[in-house]
Amino acid sequence: MTMVEVQVTGGVIEGQQLGNEYDGTHYYSFKGIPYAEPPVGELRFQAPKPVRSWSGVRSAKDFGPVCPQIDLLFRTENPLVSEDCLYLNVYSPDLTPKKPKAVMVWIHGGGFFCGSGNDDLYGPKYLLQHDVVLVTINYRIGVFGFLCLDTEDIPGNAGMKDQVAALKWVKDNISNFGGDPENVTIFGESAGGTSVSFHLVSPMSKGLFKRAIMQSGVTTNCWSEVTNARKRALVLASSLGCESDDDKEIAKFLKTCSTESILFPRLPLTFSEGRREYPELYLAIVSEKEFDNVERFYSGDSFTNILNNLHKDVDIMMGYMEHEGLIFPALTPKTDKAIKHANTFMEYFVPNSIILNNTPLQSHKIGEMIRNFYIGKEPLTKSNALKFVRFFSAAFFFYDILTWCRLAASRRTNRVFLYKFSCRSKLNMFNKVFGGTKLYADEKAACHADDLLYLFTNIHTERHPVDSVENKLIAQVNKLWTDFAKFGNPTPDNTWPQFHLEDQSYLNIGKHLQVEHHPEREDLEFWDEIYRKYLPARSLDVIKQ
């Protein structure tokens, strides 16, 4: 094993040269590199501070701690956890290439409450075969990254500011690993994809990357932003015994609570939220208030930001899975009870944003329309559960993703490439992991997060025969992603056309690559009309204004 040293912000680190058994080459691995000061004590909930320097040579052979969490989704191995979690990992095929290599920075998903950049899910060996430098990052999640009191001391979005700090570190240091700081692609899945889309409109992130890939998540998804964030912070403080109405006292109290006591709070504000057998994210991105001494990561609303603040000339690639909704049982452990509610209460099918802007009677009517469109008048049962999967896929994923795509395309300032991921192979394992087989027995269905198995090696990875379907699909997907990172075009021969409002071209990524038009047309027309009638501020009519 060969050891190698590299100078970075803070000092010298020592990594390893390792073998890649998938192609017989070698690569360089640097793990657990600190990119900011540990956000502990008084720094809890605040924006990250610059990394402190160290003396001597720091080992970069092991991953750094990950943010404290309860992993309800991926159920991977238990890594070292600590609030001191702002570390990243760099993998490079060549530290001194003749020409600097394209850089890909991975932002992990996990609903803003779990996950890390470790190789239990995000190993580098597939991507490195395509001659790119890969960076994976940890950032604060849950309460630690997304609590918001709407005060200067706890303004919110600390986890997103961590990501910005990591991108700045990449800009300053990646050339020492053979990477090109002027050719950085950020990419992520689910909450990671949503994070990428927020960077595309954040003033803090401008100029830190050239390209962006969003997989199964964008700013317009109903779960990407949190409403009434301050009230939820007050609920947390009160539940832990703080009854003060002084913001400074509340902040001081929350900063001194034990890690365990605030690890995974449920913060419903209404009886409906508390009783609803439905996935709710109580901690995510917020529109920040303005304070003199605090740089805001994000403010305003998603539609306005896409139309007015999308970073010009950044190439964009984005898409969704064929059966996103198969994640439903993982988010709703009492699946049978949730289905019972879906058969009883029409409002179950109505997005919260519409409920909050309509009367109970209107919400019931809207829910009846949505239920009839997806389920019909018969009861929801296991035999027709795929209809519910279709509803959940549309309401929580692809409608909002396609809305984001259409809004961005209307500006004509960015190249946009849209895909639908429908690969079927033994690699598709998350339908079973998430419990989606309760709703749809086909274990090879392309579920939420299954695209990860085509991009990264992980603890579930096994070697496949060279001529296997799995190997061919892995090579195909990695080439699309890395060609986009290198050239700003996933198919340099222009096989995959850009998305335009007129023909709405997209690539169906399955066993074969098929260019198609007008994705999910019937669903989009239905939901477009729902929003046009009942929540005009979030309808596509804004494009015409």
Q: What is the pLDDT of residues 518-537, one digit of tens each?
A: 999 999 999 999 999 999 98
The reported pLDDT for the residue numbered 273 is: 52
The reported pLDDT for the residue numbered 271 is: 45
Q: Which of 50, 22, 20 is nearest to 37 (CA)?
A: 50
The reported pLDDT for the residue numbered 270 is: 54
Q: Which residues pair with 12 in a beta bridge?
A: 7, 57
Catalytically annotated residue among 189, 195, 448, 470 = 448
What residues contact residue 143 under an 8 Å CB cut-off, 6+ apart? 236, 262, 263, 265, 283
Residue percentage of the chain with pLDDT more than 70: 95
The yes-or-no answer on residue 324 being catalytic is: yes
Q: Does pLDDT of 277 surpass 70? A: no
Q: Which of 480, 475, 503 is nearest to 493 (CA)?
A: 480
The reported pLDDT for the residue numbered 272 is: 52
Determine the Cα angle at 139 with ends 287 and 103, to 5°. Answer: 105
Higher local confidence (pLDDT), 538 or 417: 417
Q: Does pLDDT of 486 surpass 60? A: yes
Phi, psi of 390 (to 5 degrees): -60, -45
449-476 pLDDT, tens per residue? 999 999 999 887 777 888 899 999 999 9
372-396 pLDDT, tens per residue? 999 998 888 878 888 999 999 999 9
Give the span between the Cα atoms of 525 and 503, in whole angstroms: 15
Phi, psi of 326 (to 5 degrees): -70, -5
When pLDDT is cut at 50, 70 and 90, the band that residue 267 belongs to is: low
User: What mean pLDDT comes out for the span 25-54?
Assistant: 97
Question: Among positive and negative, which fits the CA dihedral 515, 503, 209, 32?
Answer: negative
139-182 pLDDT, tens per residue? 999 999 999 999 999 999 999 999 999 999 999 999 999 999 99
Give the span between the Cα atoms of 46 and 155, in whole angstroms: 8
Residue 168 parent element (H or E): helix 158-173
Q: 237 vs 22, 219, 242, 245, CA distance in Å?
A: 50, 28, 5, 10
Q: Does pLDDT of 335 surpass 80? A: no
User: What mean pLDDT comes out for the span 507-517?
Assistant: 97
Catalytically annotated residue among 190, 202, 287, 539 = 190
Q: Does pLDDT of 43 surpass 90? A: yes
When pLDDT is cut at 50, 70 and 90, the band that residue 544 belongs to is: low
Higher local confidence (pLDDT), 280 or 194: 194
The reported pLDDT for the residue numbered 382 is: 76
207-262 pLDDT, tens per residue? 999 999 999 999 999 899 988 899 999 999 999 999 899 999 999 999 999 999 99
Q: Does pLDDT of 313 surpass 60? A: yes
When pLDDT is cut at 50, 70 and 90, the band that residue 442 belongs to is: confident
3-state secondary structure of 513: strand
Torsion, Cα of 355, 358, 364, 368 (10° steps): -80
Q: 351 vs 221, 356, 357, 394, 447, CA distance in Å?
A: 10, 9, 10, 11, 22
Burial, 264: exposed, middle or buried (Cβ in 10 Å; 0-12, 13-18, 19+)? middle
Catalytically annotated residue among 189, 288, 322, 324 = 324
| HSE value, Cβ hemisphere, 13 Å, CA-based, for 73 | 22
Q: Residue ranges per domain, the chain?
A: 2-335+389-535+537-544
User: Strand pairing of 11-20 and 57-59?
Assistant: parallel
Q: Does pLDDT of 79 surpass 80? A: no
CATH class of domain segment(s) 2-335+389-535+537-544: alpha beta
The reported pLDDT for the residue numbered 374 is: 96
The reported pLDDT for the residue numbered 133 is: 98
The region of weakest confidence among 36-45, 295-304, 457-466 is: 457-466
Q: What is the 3-state secondary structure (H, E, C) of 57-114?
A: EEECCCCCCECCCCCCCCCCCCCCECCCCCEEEEEECCCCCCCCEEEEEEECCCCCCC
The yes-or-no answer on residue 277 being catalytic is: no
The reported pLDDT for the residue numbered 268 is: 55
Two tokens at 397?
Answer: 């994923």
The yes-or-no answer on residue 364 being catalytic is: no
Q: Report the residue count for the chain.
A: 545
User: Greatest CA separation found in the chain?
Assistant: 70
Q: Which residues pair with 184 in a beta bridge?
A: 103
The reported pLDDT for the residue numbered 169 is: 98
Q: Does pLDDT of 274 surpass 60? A: no
Residue 179 parent element (H or E): strand 179-189
Q: Does pLDDT of 485 surpass 50? A: yes
Give the span between the Cα atoms of 33 and 338, in whole angstroms: 43
**Cβ count within 10 A of residue 283:** 26
230-245 pLDDT, tens per residue? 999 999 999 999 989 9
